[in-house]
Structure 1
């Protein structure tokens, strides 16, 4: 009935118009400043959608901005799903019911720290596919997806009396490449599917928006809390002096990754930025206003290198993961009051949270005694080649005789590989750390080798989104015979595909937990554990998994997310709407085995408990860089202020290792900072940073923040390397480029805040073909 009532309301609305006017957006001919809250419907329990929309409205927003996630809507080729959590139309109708306009961002790529940036994994079954390019198969699939989205919501644009005021073309394409023809193709699909009356726009960073900017689209900028706002819009104003200005992603916080500090951003900086924008008639969308949760296996990963994201997408946003207002919320609401003509909407009541008493798990299904029927293959294949998108995979073969032992090389484990010989655990290869090699003990010919690989989220940013899972190339074993090394490639594999599906885990053979005992490290067996807890009245809770290893959790069949003992996240958010009165089931697939198969529910989350073994810095205790005998290829000064700086080496230099020496800073203080850097080749082109690794940094601020040296090439302009407050100049970073290059220059971006705090003034660059001495 409510849907019918809303449908009638839609038809009664007058047909409207949203467009770019002179220096302002126009809604039905009148100036309109967009105050948008970014919310992602698949990250919020459907039963709470309206609560989150009302929370955003009460904050002082007039619009909801949202991505559509292709991989959620088309989990298998040609099988579309717009039901339940994926009911895009229902979500947009709820926005309209609450008098909120909508900005639709249908991709096809969305980034969003979401698995593969929203692209479906099954695209990778075509190994030579070119993602986000004019690849005929890719464009054909995008067109089908865009048609499916349009079939759901094209009649909800403002021209048809609906709430959708703008539709985005692709997403931050300047951070991926330069291809106006491709971006034009996506624009043409949207025009075809949504009609000529819809307003289209594209978003990018101020440093790269010109690369792909199309003449007939509105251009908007993305930047973070603390950025120098006039500087971010300077170039756009030069090119289009009368264009309305909008920050289409103003980053309220940041996302967390496994094994790093929980990210926060100050409320004061966020509010100052929004206040400044609104005082200048600049529209904005607050990314995120409410982040929500990466349910199941949907959390993505960042690169260069491999940095998987945690389950919580709390984002340090004004509305927290559970939907409650934070101190940021109240401060921002107060600041927005003066831009809402003093009108405020009531803040909805918070959703109740409960504690749940500790409960023990009762049954276990050890994974090695519950393997599916194997497939046989001479050569290694990736998960995708077995038509598997998510979960784990075990590769099994036999070893040659290793009289003196040897070492195993896995090229490349994606993402977390545990190695066993004759059932005995040998060691782990963690892609985050670039690990590919393990020592093997002496063994007889025919010893069984198992490589148990867990796939984590596919990379969601940059060129590395083409991210195959399992083992991506080959496996070799090397034996040392009297000082001679003999290497052979291992063949003839049995392959066990372990799908990440609740029904798959439930189908295993379970035994009472009393029938298993801990190993020598104190862990219970790797496998699936099932336990139950009872409650009288369902409400939201945060289940603790601090005693567990690594894996995935289901509650009453709902994929609640990933766990990993390293932190910083130690609890998982469980919505009360997914619980029931009486008995509730928790299923955990733990690929390491728990220390104790127990859990409990808490009213508050634990998102900031790092139990990581790997240091966050890039310097061994007592390690000092020795540059004696090294001559810089260039000694130069960088200009002050915001924006990219470039220096030329004069004479090209060849090498694999580069050392930057920061001599001093423009502000005269001891601190140095770099947001992003590139090195240029002999064609004056930026070289790929995918293989880069930090070998040394003399000072990195990682006390409760993530300002390590790898932030200089993490593809994110709003994160940065910073030295510690009291460490004196000079400061050094040493980077291994992965292979030898001929280099001609350096490009460097200081912090994006006004006056570029801690910007380096004088700099020296050293290039070497052999590693620097320490």
Structure 2
């Protein structure tokens, strides 16, 4: 009898515990890798994840964005953890306010959404340095994303801090985290299984032991670093051949659940390039194909948001910085609006709900207001508002002077007359050169500009100023070791003589509100050159708006202490998203740093963004008017025929050939039309290994499609398998692309990746190849 009473009491206690846990929202569960499916609390589960990034959304708007994802039909949120955001100075961590990722996860749980956490340490994400902290570069010999002792020591410290925030939010402990990623797309960086294994162990030691750990890569490289004890997922974009993307994975693990951990809904924008969009119907069709095959997915991005402040990254080669808007042509716009793409996808996902269930209605968007043009400014010329100088005999990069972001000024007084060419090794990333305050010229890393012809002899005693803006550290491949400012030296070249300039004063100009607000602002006219501008404006009511910067030159904007982001007259982005939650009724403050100078000091607040106004003077294509490649008399080093299939195709020459200029001449395609297309191209050295693409430049392309998308020839080496070179449809074969490899190599062959779509559109059939030490004739 006593035993029976104990059993009854125990059962009642268990029921009460479950009830209390349910009421408190901390009911424990399980998420596991089953046979051909994920298992949530023991039942089959398809992950329908929305990729969103908490720092790209103002904290007061988090809930509205989460509810928008839920109403779209998603059951999970997928998010990166941005190391450099949380540890902006070594050893100083911040998980408060907009950085409170644990609060973001709890808010998702409040609304019945699960979370996939991707803590890096590297995240890419078109984010400054791929999420790695700038201060790692203060150590001259640091090797990022490797087992470099210092790097790994700091990774472990960071991951433990993340564990303190999130480990107890795993589903087994009453939270909503169901999966955790190890590193990020490492196969696109290198082959180093011991490193990936070490990161896995660090993630586990940080407390992520209760849910599946996974690694994501592309179908072309996921086996390079695949660990036996991790789940493998694949990343690819809209239009991809779903069966082909998972073919190798299914062969190696026939019973594993399949997941596309990044299904790219759109693409990101670069300064000076066309605004990117992706077709909604193609996106929806791809998701339907996956759902019909019981394949889980994460839609990257479902809501992109805004890369506020100085956090935008860059691609390389060739260097190209990202815009502040991270709209991404996603289903939920930068300002949180539902789009036609949203409702097309919502209609699809509604059909995959259990019978009788309906999706909730999307939340109401935040109000939008117009603001009368702000025109009454006080001005603080940059050269009249410099901080205390630091002295150095030799040029050093920004990191040497303990500066992470912003602008840096190098100033010296000439010790002798100079003339010829000013060579800067190297400008990272946009520089203006002044002599006694007069602008001599500008240098743009995007265009490989590191030399300036001096207009005349500069006399001894002239003050030479070089103002350099850091546009964002590279966030992909080996170039993440991207120090800013001037990285090596400044010299004057006159004939065969080279003279290095020494004895510099250095002025740090960081992008922090505390710094830019503490200037001597005075009423006055606009400055023809770099200056800070300050104004106030009054509002009777608040709401989201878009500040139109299209009469300003180049710089950054702060409103009520919030750094909104960068602007640049070249576009394509001309407006900056201003969240209404950062405005206030009554007086508001705006500060603008314009490094170039405005044509008109007017900033109105619009109800719609301008994201597609490109005003770059440079040609969009790699062919001058009337230019035609002449291959007559040139020696063919190889001719062949590609197959009509997805995936990399390798070509080996009969004999190696020395050369610097590589020409692929496409003679025909399989489609019977005029279009040729290539996603990626590698040139192979004498050992069959890809040569570095760091110095590659497109010398010539006979045809490039820029009307319907940004499909220029440089896409063949941008390290992005989702982008591609495509010729226009009204220019007939043959089609040629000529690449300057940057150095001379002993070339043994090449490899080519066609587009990822099932029909392999534009795949080249017959071709010839030419390799030369000197450029071709045009």
TM-score range, shorter chain: over 0.9
Residue 511 of structure 2 corresponds to residue 507 of structure 1: no
Query: Equivalents in 2 of 1:637, 1:346: separation in Å?
Result: 53
Give the alignment partner of residue 395 of structure 1, picking from 410, 430, 446. Answer: 410
Residue 414 of structure 2 corresponds to residue 414 of structure 1: no
1:335-392 C-alpha deviation (Å, 9 max, x unpaired) = 1111122421121111111111112042000001111111111100010000000111
Residue 342 of structure 2 corresponds to residue 338 of structure 1: no
Matches within 5 A, 1:301-320: 301-320=314-333
- 1:486 Cα deviation from its structure 2 partner: 2.3
- 1:641 Cα deviation from its structure 2 partner: 1.3
Matches within 5 A, 1:162-241: 162-241=175-254
Give the alignment partner of residue 446 of structure 2, picking from 429, 432, 437. Answer: 432
Residue matched to 1:591: 595
1:134-165 C-alpha deviation (Å, 9 max, x unpaired) = 01111110001110000011000011121000
Give the alignment partner of residue 645 of structure 2, picking from 641, 646, 650. Answer: 641
Residue matched to 1:85: 98
- 1:194 Cα deviation from its structure 2 partner: 2.1
- 1:402 Cα deviation from its structure 2 partner: 4.5
DSSP 3-state at the match of 1:194: coil
Query: Equivalents in 1 of 2:468, 2:360: separation in Å?
Result: 50
Matches within 5 A, 1:150-169: 150-169=163-182
DSSP 3-state at the match of 1:757: coil
Q: 2:670–2:763: 8 Å Cα contact kept in structure 1?
A: yes
DSSP 3-state at the match of 1:339: coil
> Under a length normalisation based on structure 1, what TM-score does the superposition of the two structures give?
0.96
Moved more, 756-765 or 338-347: 338-347
Residue matched to 1:380: 395
Residue matched to 2:754: 750
Residue 660 of structure 2 corresponds to residue 656 of structure 1: yes
1:106-149 C-alpha deviation (Å, 9 max, x unpaired) = 00000000000000000001011010000111111000111000
Give the alignment partner of residue 321 of structure 1, picking from 330, 334, 343. Answer: 334
Query: Equivalents in 2 of 1:450, 1:704: separation in Å?
Result: 42
Residue matched to 2:152: 139
- 1:598 Cα deviation from its structure 2 partner: 1.0
Q: 2:379–2:526: 8 Å Cα contact kept in structure 1?
A: no
Matches within 5 A, 1:626-637: 626-637=630-641
DSSP 3-state at the match of 2:351: helix
Residue matched to 1:621: 625
1:153-211 C-alpha deviation (Å, 9 max, x unpaired) = 10000111210000000000000000000000011111122253221000000000000
Residue matched to 1:714: 718
- 1:8 Cα deviation from its structure 2 partner: 6.9
DSSP 3-state at the match of 1:202: strand
Residue matched to 2:39: 26
Query: Equivalents in 1 of 2:395, 2:319: separation in Å?
Result: 22
Q: Residue 119 and residue 361 in structure 1: after superposition, are their counterparts in 2 closer, same or farther (change >3 A)?
A: farther
Query: Equivalents in 2 of 1:62, 1:548: separation in Å?
Result: 43
Query: Equivalents in 2 of 1:185, 1:696: separation in Å?
Result: 44
Structure 1 segments (4+ residues) deviating >6 Å:
none
Q: Residue 611 and residue 49 in structure 1: after superposition, are their counterparts in 2 closer, same or farther (change >3 A)?
A: same
Residue matched to 1:451: 466
Q: Residue 101 and residue 643 in structure 1: after superposition, are their counterparts in 2 closer, same or farther (change >3 A)?
A: same
Q: How many residues align?
A: 757
Q: Residue 390 and residue 10 in structure 1: after superposition, are their counterparts in 2 closer, same or farther (change >3 A)?
A: farther
1:219-242 C-alpha deviation (Å, 9 max, x unpaired) = 000000000000000000000000
Give the alignment partner of residue 100 of structure 1, picking from 113, 116, 126. Answer: 113
DSSP 3-state at the match of 2:102: helix
Query: Equivalents in 1 of 2:399, 2:276: separation in Å?
Result: 33
Query: Equivalents in 2 of 1:528, 1:141: separation in Å?
Result: 36
Query: Equivalents in 1 of 2:94, 2:467: separation in Å?
Result: 32
Q: 1:261–1:704: 8 Å Cα contact kept in structure 2?
A: no
DSSP 3-state at the match of 1:250: strand
RMSD: 1.3
1:731-751 C-alpha deviation (Å, 9 max, x unpaired) = 011111111000101100000
1:2-26 C-alpha deviation (Å, 9 max, x unpaired) = xxxxx97686543211111111111
Query: Equivalents in 1 of 2:499, 2:21: separation in Å?
Result: 71
Residue 490 of structure 2 corresponds to residue 486 of structure 1: no
> Under a length normalisation based on structure 2, what TM-score does the superposition of the two structures give?
0.96
Query: Equivalents in 2 of 1:714, 1:215: separation in Å?
Result: 30
Give the alignment partner of residue 111 of structure 1, picking from 124, 139, 142. Answer: 124
Give the alignment partner of residue 270 of structure 1, picking from 279, 283, 301. Answer: 283
Query: Equivalents in 2 of 1:9, 1:580: separation in Å?
Result: 39
Query: Equivalents in 1 of 2:137, 2:475: separation in Å?
Result: 14
Matches within 5 A, 1:553-568: 553-568=557-572
Q: 1:11–1:161: 8 Å Cα contact kept in structure 2?
A: no
Residue matched to 1:770: 774
- 1:718 Cα deviation from its structure 2 partner: 0.6
Q: 1:10–1:161: 8 Å Cα contact kept in structure 2?
A: no
Residue 623 of structure 2 corresponds to residue 610 of structure 1: no
Q: Which runs of 5+ in 2 are unaligned?
A: 1-19
Query: Equivalents in 2 of 1:371, 1:79: separation in Å?
Result: 27
